[in-house]
Amino acid sequence: MPFAQFNRDKLRLLPLSERIHDIDLSVMLDPHAKPSITHPDIPLIADRIRSARDTGSSVLMMMGGHVIRSGAAPVIM
């Protein structure tokens, strides 16, 4: 192994009920509502995705876990 193994001796795992959460229901999107999220760059991004697909290029999308945790995943599907 090129790196030393992570030492978990000082790692303290808490039950979910004792953890501090930075997301609550107030930021969750209604999965049944029509998405109303807009951003001025969306048309530009869409054009670039179309151009890439027209030329046979790959399109890769990456996001962090907050997208799923906040309920926004359906907006991007």
pLDDT > 80? residue 19: yes
Distance CA 52, CA 72 (A): 25
Structural domain boundaries of the chain? 38-77
pLDDT band with cut points at 50, 70 and 90 for residue 77: low
Residues ≥6 apart with Cβ < 8 Å to 63: 76
Does the pTM exceed 0.85?
no
Residue 31's identity, in one-letter code, is: P
Q: Which sign does the torsion angle of CA 62, 66, 69, 72 carry?
A: negative
